[in-house]
Structure 1
Amino acid sequence: MVSTGKAHESQKQVHAPLDADISRTAALDDATLGYRGPAACRAAGVTYRQLDYWARTGLLEPSVRNVSGSGHQRLYSFRDVLVLKVIKRLLDAGVSLQQIRVAVAALRDHGVRELAGITLMSDGASVYECTSDDQVIDLLRGGQGVFGIALGSVWREVEGTLAELPSERPDATEMAEHPGDELRRRRVAKKAG
Structure 2
Amino acid sequence: MAATGTTGDAASVLQDGTRAAQPLQGALFAHPGDASDTETVGYRGPAACNAAGVTYRQLDYWARTGLLEPSVRNPSGSGHQRLYSFRDILVLKVVKRLLDTGVSLQQIRIAVSTLRARGVSDLAGITLMSDGASVYECTSDEEVIDLMRGGQGVFGIALGSVWREVEGTLSELPSERPEEPEPAVHPGDELRQRRQARHAG
Which residues of 2 match residues 1-193 of structure 1 at below 5 A?
A: 3=3, 14-19=20-25, 23-24=29-30, 27=34, 29-30=36-37, 31-175=39-183
Number of residue pairs matched by the alignment: 175
* Distance change >3 Å, CA 49–CA 115, structure 1 → 2: same
Residue 81 (structure 1) shift: 0.4
Q: TM-score, normalised by structure 1?
A: 0.82
| RMSD (Å) for aligned C-alpha atoms | 2.5
What do the CA deviations read for 1:29-68 (whole angstroms, capped 9, x no partner)?
4122100001100100001111111111111110000012
Given that 2:22 and 2:124 are in contact with CA atoms closer than 8 Å, whether structure 1 keeps it comes out as no
Residue 148 (structure 1) shift: 0.5
Q: C-alpha distance in 2, partners of 1:174/1:66? A: 13
Q: TM-score, normalised by structure 2?
A: 0.78
Structure with bigger RCO (C-alpha 8 Å, 6+ apart): 2
Q: Which amino acid in structure 2 is aligned with residue 50 of structure 1?
A: Q
Q: Which amino acid in structure 2 is aligned with residue 164 of structure 1?
A: E
Match of 1:187 in 2: none
Q: C-alpha distance in 1, partners of 2:146/2:84? A: 35
Which consecutive residues of structure 2, in runs of 5 or more, have no partner in the other structure?
5-17, 194-201
Residue 173 (structure 1) shift: 3.2
Q: C-alpha distance in 2, partners of 1:14/1:151? A: 13
* Distance change >3 Å, CA 143–CA 73, structure 1 → 2: same
Q: C-alpha distance in 1, partners of 2:169/2:144? A: 28
